[in-house]
Amino acid sequence: MRRAVGNTKNVFFANDIGCYSMMVLPPILWSDSQQCMGAGLGISAGVQYCIEEKVFAAIGDSTLFHAGLPGIVNLVHNNDDVTIFALDNNVTAMTGQQSHPGTNRKAGGLPGEKLDIKKVLHGLGVEKVWEINSFENVLDNVKVIKEAIAYDGPSAVVSHGECALYHFRNYRHAGGKVVPYYVDEDLCENRHACIFNFLCPALSVKEDGKAKIDPELCVGCGVCAQLCPHGAIKSTATLKGYRDGPITTLDEYHEFANAQVGKENNEGVE
């Protein structure tokens, strides 16, 4: 989002209540308004009439279904020039991993069919809706957000990316293990693009200026590796002769584990 808008003074960013509320804190330090669940959409509707800057409103999936729908209806009805940034986390992340209409679980944990946020937005009259993935091809996401911001009228970007706490809790319970990333110091050129453009808590800078990844905090999503211009960030799976890339699903982990077992068996054969 920040790379897409350039100077954050170029836009009015209406934040909301959720995990993304932490954007107001260091190191991001970016929010022009923040009040209560769903208020960002209402505030953005009014603000866009009295400022020259583009107005941008973020809202999580749970908050969208809980308190955001009336605000979207109002934006569409008045043809307000606001870009909605909807975060599709697949869970109510902030208050304990509960289900909501945008998850594949109903009340009580029963299986259900999730509502498609893009279809809901279209149904409410938001004609222009882009979709991106929070973890894949992240540099391309910047181009999409720029296009959305340039659109005149109500528009939306739906960013799909399951909450990391929720995803990896289920992943570990099912038998998966985190395969973290590491920094190849021979390739690291101290550009720190991984740190400044991602702000992941697993990333830090060593005394010699090289980037460092804490394996205890890394979940192996691989986003930082996409941002490194020198290809210095790799999966620790490569240290065991396996392919480079994130291992974050059970199928991927089983494939990796089986490959290691097969390798060990082959090494034991004379």
The pLDDT of residue 268 is 55
What CATH code is carried by the domain that includes residue 141? 3.40.50.970
Question: In this structure, is the dihedral angle defined by the CA atoms of residues 188, 192, 193 and 198, taken in order, positive or negative?
Answer: positive
Q: Is the pLDDT of residue 87 over 80?
A: yes
In a domain, 156, yes or no: yes
Statement to judge: residues 136 and 187 lie in one domain: no
Which pLDDT value is given to residue 92?
A: 86
How high is the pLDDT of residue 107?
A: 82
* Whether residue 137 is found in the same domain as residue 9: yes
Give per-residue pLDDT as tens, 13-48. 999 998 899 999 988 899 999 999 999 999 999 999
The answer on 130 and 28 residing in a single domain is yes
Q: Is the pLDDT of residue 6 over 50?
A: yes
Q: Are residues 70 and 121 in the same domain?
A: yes
Residue recorded with tokens 């395969």: 179
CATH code of 216's domain: 3.30.70.20
For the residues 249-257, what does the mean pLDDT come to? 96
Residues 12 and 112 in one domain: yes
- Percent of the chain past pLDDT 90, that is, above it, reads 78
Q: Which of 167, 193, 213 is the last residue of a domain?
A: 167
167, 186, 214: which is the final residue of a domain? 167
**For residue 212, what are the CA distances in angstroms to 89, 194, 200, 205, 244?**
27, 10, 11, 6, 18
Residue 233 binned pLDDT confidence (cut-offs 50, 70, 90): very high
Residue 50 confidence (pLDDT) above 60: yes
Residue pair 231/244 in contact by the 8 Å Cβ criterion: no
User: Does residue 267 carry a pLDDT above 70?
Assistant: no
Q: Is the pLDDT of residue 109 over 90?
A: no
Residues 17 and 73 in one domain: yes
Number of domains in the chain: 2
Place of tokens 């350039």: 6
pTM beyond cutoff 0.85: yes
Q: Are residues 225 and 107 located together in one domain of the fold?
A: no
144 and 224 together in one domain:
no
- The rounded mean pLDDT for the chain is 93
Q: Are residues 116 and 220 in the same domain?
A: no
pLDDT digit string (tens) for 207-229? 999 999 999 999 999 999 999 99
Residue 265 placed within a domain: no
52 and 162 share one domain:
yes
Task: Decide if pLDDT at 269 tops 70.
Answer: no
For residues 243, 248, 250, 252, the Cα torsion angle rounded to the nearest 10 degrees is -20
Domain boundary among 118, 141, 167: 167
Determine the structural domain holding residue 236 and report its residue range: 178-242
Average pLDDT rounded to a whole number, residues 140-147: 95
Residue 261 domain flag: no
Contacts for 233-239: CB closer than 8 Å, 24+ residues apart? 233/181, 233/182, 233/183, 233/184, 233/194, 234/181, 234/182, 234/184, 235/179, 235/180, 235/181, 235/182, 236/179, 236/180, 236/181, 236/182, 237/179, 239/182
**Residue 161 sits in the same domain as residue 197:** no
- Asked, for residue 236, whether it belongs to a domain, the answer is yes
Tell me: the pLDDT tens digits for 196-207?
A: 888 899 999 999
- Tell me the pLDDT band of 270, cut-offs 50, 70 and 90: very low
Average confidence (pLDDT) over 118-124: 97
Region for residue 181 given its phi and psi (left: phi exceeds 0; alpha: psi -120 to 50; beta: otherwise): beta
The verdict on 45 and 141 lying in the same domain is yes
